[in-house]
Each structure stands twice: as structure tokens, then as C-alpha cells.
Amino acid sequence: MKEISVQELKELQDSNQDFQLIDVREDFEYEVSNLGGLSIPLGGVLIEADKISKDKPVVVMCRSGKRSAAAIMQLEQLGYTNLSNLQGGILAWAAEIDPELSVY
């Protein structure tokens, strides 16, 4: 499974590269803090897979990296090959990039 660090994600955002960010946390978690990605809770990933791009890089994130890894494993069964897991999730983002971000 490909992984991406929070620093690499920040570089992607800052350089305006064309990619998709998918947040697989629950809605209440997304409301506390998010990085602007598309919210698709883990339980709905397969149902809403048509919203996830197959033709550009996709970064999948959660709180710590475990649920996003599970989501990637499910999506790879559908033939996705363009997915990267955000190492450490939003906790790593708050620790390394944006200490002002609310975490829980």
C-alpha cells in the first residue's frame, strides 16, 4: 500500500496539483476538524466508490491511518491503483502541520 506523509500532502495542496482527498472518518469527526476532503465514512466506501476518482491521485485519510488503510484495501478489490494512505491521519497533520487544528 502506498503511503504519503503529511508533509507530502501539504506540498500537493500548496502546489495546486490535481488530486482527490477522501476522509473516511465519521461525520461527527469530520465536523470537529477536516482538511477539506470529500467525506465518505468507512462504512459507505464501497457504496460510494463511484465518487472516488480512478484517473488522478487519491489520498485517503482518517484519524490515525488505520481506517484509511482498511478503505484502501476495500477499494483495491474494485481495481483502484491510484490510492495513497495518509500516514498518521489528522493526528499527524495537527502535530506536524497545523497545531491549531482541533483534534479529539
Helical (H) or strand (E) element with 73? helix 66-76
CATH number for the domain running over 3-96:
3.40.250.10
100 given a catalytic annotation: no
Count other Cβ atoms within 10 Å, centred on residue 82: 16
State the pTM of this model: 0.97
All structural domains of the chain with their residue ranges:
3-96
Beta-strand relationship, 3-4 and 83-86: parallel
Q: Which of 62, 75, 86, 90 is catalytic?
A: 62
Interval 20-32 mean pLDDT: 98
Residues 55-94 pLDDT 10s: 999 999 999 999 999 999 999 999 999 999 999 999 999 9
Check residue 58 and give its pLDDT: 98
Check residue 104 and give its pLDDT: 83
> With bands split at pLDDT 50, 70 and 90, how would you rate the model's confidence at 97?
very high
Please state, in angstroms and rounded to a whole number, the distance separating the CA atoms of residues 82 and 42.
Answer: 18
